[in-house]
């Protein structure tokens, strides 16, 4: 067990973990075709395609495409934000982690949640006030368009690429398990659907797909947690008591275990989870879909509540799995003698399938089909959001501002964005196929680390600190990006497990504790040393940005001409 826990920790390292994960799902057996699940999923797909069709008819301008015309309400946006965050990974991965090691699952739940208050207090309203379509718009508000957009778009694309690969591989494996479809089919279906949502429906369709899925997921998880608690007379104490009696580790599941055996690593993990949230491009884009700063503020508040509630549900579901599934041999692959099984390793479909198996235990085969369909829908919605963020970075940041230098039309830009979405989809299908048997568990962790070490410092410093200059932001972002990637490559997950070297050159699994401060310090030092005329002009331009970021007033002043 003590070996299993760090392993699961590594697997869980990002949001997707679980599904994404290697060995657990690596040896996946294709299951019998699950018709109820397939029908429910088809219904979801048809319904969301209908929404996409309507969104496509109403989407004309760039603002429609990138930001749903700015007409999303705070409540809707909060569901979309929560949906972006409640990946299949958080659902299946965290409930699986709670199932195998109890308390340790909470470390991830809390880590994923606490980034939100930071986003609210420091970023959300200012982002909306300065906001256009991508966070690069904000970071480059008073700095050099070309340099800042290149670094922001690079950060965005790196985050999107790693996140997307992990999701695609996870999707393929999960669908193999849940629906009994071959891996390649699954990857192609996910890729094709996300292209349709994004290329035709833009942000409007992507938002509504996310909202519907968030409601389904919250509804399904609420029912499941409710059914578990119902069996124990709504007494968590009784649930915990049964769980500790059933779990092979007994009382130890109520206490911190081996997941964070290394203090530095656990703090670094926390830093990455917390500040990575504030730098995820597909999440930051959501702040431009609401009408004003007040709505941005409210949507973070509601979203924090929804996400926190969801993590409490996953905790109950994990404990429900221990209490209700562990003593039932029908959920396990039995050993050679036909009666014994390892309560943790031998679960049918792997530990990540706890929530799915529990759905069967509390709601029967149709509820199992429902939860399977929701898990698929979840992946679909998350990859659509990522694709839109990537396509926006290519068209709005790189093409319109860097290559065309602003000499382009809105229509050409949106068309390029749609083409980029198709391109990203095809690349994602290809990568999903290529990486099928690779260990991709570290990739979500890497995506969070890059977001925390490149996107977040560039964004925060350009908004909050007068002294930031283009040179500082550019070099700082670059240093953060390179440091995060290099440290992960030299860590155990890649250097040893993928490349087969005997010893990791970077001792920790999570680089953020080092790479993020490095980025901030670089921005500070380089900006301070920057004595160029452009640097002086940029510092002088801070006041205008400051007024607008704090009040939204400059926004109207700036284009009243």
Binding positions for another protein, 97-156, rule CB under 8 A: 103, 106-107, 109-111, 113-114, 116-118, 120-122, 125, 128-129, 131-133, 137, 141-142, 144-146
Say whether 261 sits in a helix, a strand or coil: coil
What mask, x for binding another protein by CB under 8 A, covers residues 11 to 30? --------------------
Sign of the alpha-carbon torsion through 490, 495, 499, 500: positive
Find the part of the chain contacting another protein (CB under 8 A) among 1-9, 190-198, 257-265, 345-353. 257-265
Do residues 203 and 281 lie in contact, with contact meaning Cβ atoms separated by under 8 Å? no
Among 337, 339, 407, 500, binds another protein (CB under 8 A): 407
d(CA 198, CA 385): 8
Q: How many CB atoms lie within 10 A of CB 558?
A: 12
Q: How far is the CB of 23 from another protein (least distance, A)?
A: 26
> Rule CB under 8 A: is residue 333 a binding residue for another protein?
no
Out of 192, 426, 505, 558, the residue judged to bind another protein by CB under 8 A = 558
Binding of another protein at residue 298 (CB under 8 A)? yes
DSSP 469-499: -HHHHHHHHHHHHHHHHHHHHTSIIIIITTT
Neighbours of 181 (CB within 10 A): 20
Name which of 426 and 558 has its Cβ closer to another protein: 558
State the nearest-atom distance from the C-beta of 465 to another protein, in Å. 12
> CB of residue 139 vs another protein: minimum separation in angstroms?
14
What percentage of the chain's residues is helix, strand, coil (to nearest 5)?
Answer: 80, 0, 20
Please state, in angstroms and rounded to a whole number, the distance separating the CA atoms of residues 150 and 162: 18
- Of the residues 200, 301, 433, 524, which one makes contact with another protein according to CB under 8 A: 301
Helix H, strand E, coil C: the string for 226-259 is: HHHHHHCCCCHHHHHHHHHHHCCCHHHHHCCCHH
> Per CB under 8 A, does 229 bind another protein?
no
- What DSSP assignment string belongs to 408-474? S-HHHHHHHHHHHHHHHHHHHHHHHHHTTTS--HHHHHHHHHHIIIIIHHHHHHHHH-TT--HHHHH
For residues 164 and 300, which CB has a smaller minimum distance to another protein in the complex?
300
The CB-of-387 to another protein minimum distance in angstroms stands at 21
Q: How far is the CB of 334 from another protein (least distance, A)?
A: 29
Nearest distance from residue 271's CB to another protein, in Å?
9
> Which CB, 7 or 302, lies closer to another protein?
302
* 278-297 binders of another protein (CB under 8 A): 288, 291-295, 297
Nearer to another protein, 168 or 393 (CB): 393
For the bound state, the minimum distance from the C-beta of residue 530 to another protein, rounded and expressed in Å, comes to 16
241 touches another protein (CB under 8 A) = yes
Residue 244, C-beta contacts closer than 8 angstroms, at least 6 positions apart: 250, 251, 253, 254
Of 274, 356, 440, 459, the one binding another protein (CB under 8 A) is 274
Nearer to another protein, 407 or 503 (CB): 407
CB-count burial class (<10 Å; 0-12, 13-18, 19+) for 411: exposed
Q: Is 551 in the site for another protein (CB under 8 A)?
A: yes
Among 30, 33, 61, 327, binds another protein (CB under 8 A): 61
Applying CB under 8 A, which of residues 91, 135, 311, 435 lies at the interface with another protein? 311
Q: Tell me if 395 contacts another protein by CB under 8 A.
A: no
Identified binder of another protein from the candidate list 93, 96, 155, 270, rule CB under 8 A? 270
- CA angle at 318 for the pair 315 and 319, rounded to the nearest 5°: 90
Sole binder of another protein in the list 229, 419, 496, 541 (CB under 8 A) = 541
Q: Are 389 and 160 in contact (CB under 8 A)?
A: yes
Candidate residues 58, 405, 434, 437; the one interacting with another protein per rule CB under 8 A: 405
Question: Rounded to an integer, what is the distance from CA 325 to the centroid of its chain?
Answer: 29
Q: How far apart are CA 141 and CA 113, in angstroms?
A: 29
Q: Does 529 bind another protein (CB under 8 A)?
A: no
3-state secondary structure of 145: helix
Q: Is 545 in the site for another protein (CB under 8 A)?
A: yes
Number of residues that bind another protein (CB under 8 A): 91
Question: 116 vs 183, which CB is nearer to another protein?
Answer: 116
Q: Compute the least distance from the CB of residue 439 to another protein, in Å.
A: 26
Nearer to another protein, 212 or 280 (CB): 280
- Calpha distance 363→228 (Å, rounded): 10
Q: Taking the alpha carbons of 117, 118, 124, 125 in that order, is the dihedral positive or negative?
A: positive
The answer to whether residue 240 forms part of the interface with another protein (CB under 8 A) is yes
Task: Check: CB of residue 29 under 8 Å from CB of residue 350.
Answer: no
One symbol per residue from 69 to 88: x for binding another protein (CB under 8 A), - otherwise; what is it? Answer: xx------------------
In the three-class reduction of DSSP (H, G, I as helix; E, B as strand; rest coil), residue 332 is classed as strand
């Amino acid at each position: 067990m003590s070996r299993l826990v760090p392993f699961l920790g590594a697997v869980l390292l990002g949001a997707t973990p679980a599904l994404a994960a290697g060995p657990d799902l690596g040896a996946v057996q294709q299951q019998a075709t699950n018709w109820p699940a397939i029908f429910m999923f088809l219904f979801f797909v048809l319904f969301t395609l209908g929404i996409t069709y309507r969104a496509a008819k109403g989407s004309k301008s760039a603002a429609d495409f990138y930001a749903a015309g700015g007409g999303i309400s705070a409540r809707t946006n909060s569901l979309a934000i929560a949906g972006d965050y409640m990946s299949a990974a958080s659902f299946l991965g965290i409930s699986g982690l709670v199932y195998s090691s109890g308390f340790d699952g909470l470390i991830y739940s809390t880590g994923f949640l606490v980034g939100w208050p930071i986003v609210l207090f420091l970023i959300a309203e200012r982002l909306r006030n300065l906001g256009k379509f991508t966070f690069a718009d904000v970071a480059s508000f008073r700095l050099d368009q070309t340099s800042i957009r290149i670094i922001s778009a690079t950060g965005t694309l790196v985050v999107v690429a790693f996140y997307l690969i992990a999701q695609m591989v996870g999707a393929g494996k999960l669908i193999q398990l849940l629906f009994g479809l071959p891996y390649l089919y699954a990857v192609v279906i996910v890729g094709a659907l996300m292209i349709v949502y994004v290329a035709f429906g833009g942000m409007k369709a992507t938002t509504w797909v996310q909202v519907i899925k968030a409601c389904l997921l919250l509804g399904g998880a609420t029912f499941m947690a409710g059914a578990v608690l119902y069996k124990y007379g709504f007494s968590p104490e009784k649930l915990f008591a049964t769980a500790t009696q059933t779990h092979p580790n007994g009382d130890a599941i109520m206490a911190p275990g081996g997941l964070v055996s290394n203090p530095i690593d656990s703090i670094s993990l926390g830093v990455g989870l917390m500040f990575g949230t504030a730098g995820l491009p597909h999440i930051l884009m959501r702040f431009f879909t609401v009408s004003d700063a007040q709505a941005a503020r409210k949507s973070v508040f509601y979203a924090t509540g929804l996400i926190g509630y969801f993590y409490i549900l996953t905790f109950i579901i994990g404990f429900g799995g221990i209490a209700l599934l562990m003593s039932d041999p029908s959920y396990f692959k039995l050993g050679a003698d036909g009666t014994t099984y390892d309560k943790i390793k031998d679960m049918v479909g792997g530990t990540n399938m706890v929530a799915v198996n529990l759905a069967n235990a509390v709601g029967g085969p149709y509820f199992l089909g429902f939860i399977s369909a929701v898990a698929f829908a979840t992946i679909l919605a998350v990859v659509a959001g990522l694709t839109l963020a990537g396509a926006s970075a290519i068209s709005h940041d790189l093409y319109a501002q860097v290559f065309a230098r602003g000499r382009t039309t809105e229509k050409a830009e949106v068309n390029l964005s749609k083409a980029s979405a198709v391109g990203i989809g095809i690349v994602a299908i290809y990568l999903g196929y290529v990486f099928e048997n690779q260990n991709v568990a570290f990739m979500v962790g890497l995506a969070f680390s890059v977001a925390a070490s490149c996107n977040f410092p560039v964004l925060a410093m350009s908004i909050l600190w007068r002294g930031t200059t283009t040179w500082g932001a550019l070099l700082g972002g670059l240093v953060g990006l390179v440091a995060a990637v290099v440290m992960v490559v030299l860590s155990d997950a890649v250097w040893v497990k993928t490349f087969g070297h005997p010893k990791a050159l970077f001792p920790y699994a999570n680089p953020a504790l080092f790479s993020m401060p490095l980025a901030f310090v670089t921005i500070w030092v380089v900006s301070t040393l920057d004595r160029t005329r452009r640097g002086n002009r940029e510092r002088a331009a801070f006041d205008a940005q400051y007024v607008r970021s704090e009040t939204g007033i400059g926004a109207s002043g700036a284009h009243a001409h």
